[in-house]
Amino acid sequence: MQITGIKSQVVSVPLVTTFRTALRTVDRIENVIVTILTDSDLVGFGSAAPVAVITGETAASITGAIEYIGDSISGMKIGSWENILQRLNSCIIGNMSAKAAVDMAVYDLVAKSLDIPLYQLLGGMSSDINTDITISIDTPEKMISESREKLASGFDILKIKVGGDPELDIRRLQLIQEAVGRQIRIRIDANQGWSAKEAVGVGRELERRGILIELMEQPVAASDFEGLRYVRDNVVFPVYADESLFSPGDALRLVKMNAVDGFNIKLMKCGGIYNAMKIAAIAEAAALPCMIGSMMECHISVAAAAHLAASRAVISRYDLDAPLFCSRNPASGGISYSGAQVCFADAAGLGIEEVTG
């Protein structure tokens, strides 16, 4: 089976509630949906979500990069997918989300050609996927009512966005924990919003007040690896890299520096499943646990992340709630949700039947 072309379309999906982090506020998301065409009746689906403040990519840049990549891999054989993925990663530098969309569409096609779900191609189902649920940064009162509502609808792990004023962040977390109780797991994500000293101050104050958090994600600026290590060395809670971790090379540097306790892997940062598996392997060799996350993305690309997560033992934490913020699914089939659980379609590849737009 040969690749004959790539199509892309930009689909805009309104969110059901506004999403707010230390970096941005969004009401709708754009997804660049990719279809790889072949000389058979099989097609491969993928999707990219532009997040300019993190990856530097826009819908227009992703569309342009996909066209360029399409020309580079056209005519290649799906059966030699290592070659396709090597070409995909070497034909253009950067453009990681554009690469991720094409990468997952290639994997979708390989699994479809074997008539198996993608997770089976990658290693088989090693675990159920139960996602946390994100609480946007807001007033403590709004964050408490949002947390209560989510717990009532079946979630039991909260991912609390912080990274504003450290005093207010501590107050937010104290009030939320008092409201939801100590048995609820709380992850916090500062999205680079603190200095290293502020992060240590927050971590120590949370510890002093007996506020339990499972992990602290990306407390400091993406480029501040020394800062990550300083925070890791000075707070009791595990520190995870998100925006500091794009490539397998970043993963190696973070391991060498002993800078973090874990990785948050996202396909949009690393260029897709091919590179995500390399990061997961580095983490496993360094005995670091991984979380799988996503940007604000639709069901298509999060399905790819879920298939990867299901197949890798080292990925043991799941932050795959973004589709739950989308007012609609731009595709039929793929993943669905039952409370916190991500459910896979009983179908080959990513399980996506068609893109509905």
Binding site for Mg ion (CB under 5 A): 189, 217, 242
Does residue 266 carry a catalytic annotation?
yes
CA dihedral sign of residues 171, 172, 175, 176: negative
Buried b or exposed e, range 269-287, using 16+ CB within 10 angstroms: bbbbbbbbbbbbebbeebe
Residue with Cβ nearer Mg ion (242 or 297): 242
Report how far residue 186's alpha carbon sits from residue 159's, in angstroms, rounded to the nearest whole number.
6
Residue with Cβ nearer Mg ion (132 or 217): 217
CB of 161 to Mg ion, least distance (A): 9
CB of 130 to Mg ion, least distance (A): 18
CB of 69 to Mg ion, least distance (A): 26
Report how far residue 68's alpha carbon sits from residue 64's, in angstroms, rounded to the nearest whole number.
6
Residue with Cβ nearer Mg ion (198 or 217): 217
Residue with Cβ nearer Mg ion (169 or 189): 189
Report how far residue 127's alpha carbon sits from residue 309's, in angstroms, rounded to the nearest whole number.
8
The number of beta carbons lying within 10 Å of the beta carbon of residue 209 is 12
Report how far residue 264's alpha carbon sits from residue 243's, in angstroms, rounded to the nearest whole number.
9
Report how far residue 289's alpha carbon sits from residue 212's, in angstroms, rounded to the nearest whole number.
19
Does residue 112 carry a catalytic annotation?
no
Q: Which two tokens stand for residue 88?
A: 């995909």
Q: Tokens 């602290």 identify what position? A: 216
Which one is catalytic: 161, 197, 256, 269?
161
CB of 257 to Mg ion, least distance (A): 20
Task: Say if strands 157-161 and 315-318 run parallel, antiparallel, or are unpaired.
Answer: unpaired
Which one is catalytic: 256, 266, 269, 278?
266
CB of 301 to Mg ion, least distance (A): 16
Report how far residue 113's alpha carbon sits from residue 32's, in angstroms, rounded to the nearest whole number.
24
Nearest to 171, CA basis, from 198, 215, 219, 209: 209
CB of 219 to Mg ion, least distance (A): 11
CA dihedral sign of residues 218, 223, 229, 234: negative
Residue with Cβ nearer Mg ion (36 or 241): 241
Report how far residue 328's alpha carbon sits from residue 223's, in angstroms, rounded to the nearest whole number.
35
CA Rg value for the chain:
20
Q: Do the beta carbons of residue 297 and residue 47 sit within 8 Å? A: yes
255 phi and psi angles, rounded to 5 deg: -65, -45
Q: Which residue is nearest to Mg ion (CB)?
A: 242
Q: Which two tokens stand for residue 42?
A: 């099989």
Residues serving a catalytic function are: 161, 266
